[in-house]
Amino acid sequence: MKNTAISLYLDLIKKALSFTLWPEPGIPLETFNYKRSTAKRYFINNLTKILRRFKIQIVEIANYKEQDREEGIIWPMYAETMIGLKRLDNIQYCIEDVLKNKIEGDLIETGVWRGGACIFMKAVLSAYEENERTVFVADSFEGLPKPDATNFPADKGDSHHTEKFLAVSQENVEENFRRYNLLDSKVVFLKGWFKDTLPHAPITKLSILRLDGDMYGSTMDSLIHLYPKLSKGGFCIIDDYVLPGCKKATDDYREKENIDAPLLRIDNSGVYWQKGNN
């Protein structure tokens, strides 16, 4: 790619959002305390409280390989997105294609965590001075739902809802947009469970539909309510095809709707397709 101002800006912002510009600093000891036994949790809580008084923090060394960060296969401590550089490149590719071919519609990500992938969508639009399209930011902003095994048996026993690390507030995500100077009235937040927000969302047409809700139910709810609104020539991106529940929901929906557009691989986790006649 040529070193134009646009490509330099977008490359820099991808590296900043994925925190790959810098070595990963240590992980504060208390971050994953919720996964520890009661005794260890109690000990670490008290220890960190005392040390804080002396402005001391214990961190665990993050032994991530460069490739893990590029591939987005770790939960990063400091990045605004966990999807890695290859999946960010894919977002850029899809948006540039949509703009070049004048495919109509807004953009959405369902499952945003700290908002980095949506911030990047907005950055690409802004770089190309495209100010008409809305970026929808859909999340509970309190983590994943408990599995609904009655409606979605594939989610039985899923433990994502216990991961406090995945619960990020809307205020926090708004602040992340603001820090990149990318928050305006064309960024619209859809707060709540997908099953409640997506059926009534003020969306008429989409050009980019990006799904990152990890579970069968979250993927299926997003596809059912949003895929019919995706324009022909638009892109459907599935972040978590590596997870069995998400893969099954994607395969089930594609089969039921006779979607035969080839499923293209982005990296070890993500896939996407360009919508044809269905």
Binding positions for ligand SAM, rule: CB under 6 A: 81-83, 109, 111-113, 116-117, 139-140, 143-145, 166, 193-194, 212-215, 218
Closest approach of ligand SAM to the CB of residue 175, in Å: 15
Query: In the complex with ligand SAM, which residue's Cβ is closer, 98 or 215?
Result: 215
Least distance (Å) between residue 116 CB and ligand SAM: 5
Identify which of residues 84 and 105 has a Cβ nearer to ligand SAM in the complex.
84
Residue 27 has a CB neighbour count (10 Å cut-off) of 18
Q: Which residues contact 61 (CB under 8 A, 6 or more apart)?
A: 26
For the four alpha carbons of 26, 87, 14 and 171, in that order, the dihedral sign comes to negative
Least distance CB 38 / ligand SAM (angstroms): 26
| Least distance to ligand SAM, CB of residue 37, Å | 26
Q: Which is nearer to ligand SAM, 173 or 259 (CB)?
A: 173
* Minimum distance of ligand SAM from residue 195's CB (angstroms): 7
Residue 74, CA atoms < 13 Å, CB-side half-sphere: 18
Nearer to ligand SAM, 104 or 252 (CB): 252
Half-sphere exposure of 258 (CA within 13 A, CB side): 2
Residue 146 bridge partners (DSSP): none
Which CB atom, from 157 or from 262, has the smaller least distance to ligand SAM? 157
Vertex 210 angle, CA 169 and 23, to 5°: 65
Alpha-carbon span 23 to 83, nearest angstrom: 17
Q: Residue 26 carries which DSSP code?
A: P
Q: By beta-carbon distance, which residue lies closest to ligand SAM?
A: 111
Q: Which residue has the tokens 């070595």?
A: 23
Nearer to ligand SAM, 234 or 245 (CB): 245
Sign of CA dihedral 226, 228, 229, 233: positive
Q: How far is the CB of 164 from ligand SAM (least distance, A)?
A: 11
